[in-house]
Amino acid sequence: MWLFTNRTKGRNPFAQMAAMIAAMTSRFLRWSMWVGVLLLSSCSSLKVSRINSAQAKPNNVWVFFTVEKGKEPIGGLSASDFEIYEDSQLVSKFESKQVIQNPEVAAVMYTMLLLDVSGSVTESGQSDALIDAAQTFSDRVGKSQKVGVYAFDGEEKLHSVVPFTEAKGTVQGGLDGLRKYQPKDPSTNLHGAVVSGLQTLKAALEKDPRPLKFGTLVVFSDGTDRAARVTRDEMLEEMNKPDYEHFDLFAIGLGAEMEQANLEEVGRDGTELAEDKAKVNDAFDKVAQRIESHMNRFYLLSYCTPARKGSHEVRIVAKTKEDGQGALEYTFSADGFGPPPACDPERKPSFDLKDTTVKPEDEPDGANGT
């Protein structure tokens, strides 16, 4: 009491008390704000990455992107799981008619299965287990994308087993032909097969008219490269080219020798090792599951913008109860926009065929359709 009366001598004690309460309140509010920021940061755990975007008259906007949490893809989100902001203002879901379109209208996805049929496989009685596993894999992945099957041994070129096709039954017929295959060169041209596989996969994708192209290369082998036609460094140099930025590479190894082969270099997006032929099917099944998950991370969000002129900043926020939230940002031009005619959110996108790379955030998008 003495301390209080001494410090407040000649001053209104009630005013002093009010000042003390105000100071404490200010500190509490600042503390609450920082706690809120920390909590928000902990919830912002999704990575939303824009791959491409476009806009067209009358006022259509399309954004193609992926949603991931760490290295794990996030699939199954609906249009209601996304919020669209233009110039920091929330766009009404009813006004914008936002929908999630099937990504296949703009993107094409191919998977190449590259099988080792060198002497160590064909002469050891592993062919039947390999073909059965490859058949199951092709049937599963082929439900949602085109699958091509190629084989390699010690020769320089790949052997085409089943070119990329959607025809049912074709894959099975081609794979059955490998059951009694005898290589002319029983060595293992693993490095060369990876290089040729990437190039063949890229060439097949380029024939498809859809602008966004994604490839998956799955390599099965039971040994290290013995042919030495292509060096390890040459293989890695090819794999790291920008041409394969949107390619996923998986590897499946069989036997103890593969534990020493460091097949992870080939399977940069995932590797499965089977100790014996009885577990080959399980390894293929795990890779097929990974491919399905990776496909589900793609989203094509379409909406009708309320903007009618000028450049606008777009922020798309993905929110989930289980995985938190994340956002992407970019700018677009709405010059000349405005109905009539009425905007149809189900209209197919008009992505620039020459512009299919991931764009840095906040980069203006000048692809204006008509």
Domain ranges across the chain: 2-42, 47-105+297-369, 107-291
pLDDT of residue 160: 94
Question: Taking 50 as the threshold, does the pLDDT of residue 365 lie above it?
Answer: no
CA angle 96-312-79, nearest 5°?
30
Question: Taking 90 as the threshold, does the pLDDT of residue 369 lie above it?
Answer: no
Taking the C-alpha atoms of residue 225 and residue 240, their distance in angstroms, rounded to an integer, is 19
Cα dihedral 128→134→140→143 (10° resolution): -120
Going by pLDDT thresholds of 50, 70 and 90, the confidence category of residue 3 is very low
Q: What single-letter amino acid sits at 39?
A: L
CATH code that applies to domain 47-105+297-369: 2.60.40
Least confident of 32-41, 44-53, 56-65, 333-342: 32-41
| Domain 107-291 class in CATH | alpha beta
Q: Which residues pair with 302 in a beta bridge?
A: 62, 99
**Length of the chain, in residues:** 370
Question: Do residues 145 and 201 touch, judged by C-beta distance below 8 A?
Answer: no
Taking the C-alpha atoms of residue 312 and residue 301, their distance in angstroms, rounded to an integer, is 17
- Cα–chain center distance at 198: 18
The pTM score is 0.78
CA angle 246-251-254, nearest 5°?
175
pLDDT of residue 39: 45
Q: CB under 8 Å to 22, separation ≥6 — which residues?
A: none
Q: CB under 8 Å to 359, separation ≥6 — which residues?
A: 50, 51, 52, 53, 330, 365
Q: How many helices (H) and strands (E) are present in the chain, helices listed first?
A: 10, 17
Question: Taking 50 as the threshold, does the pLDDT of residue 33 lie above it?
Answer: no
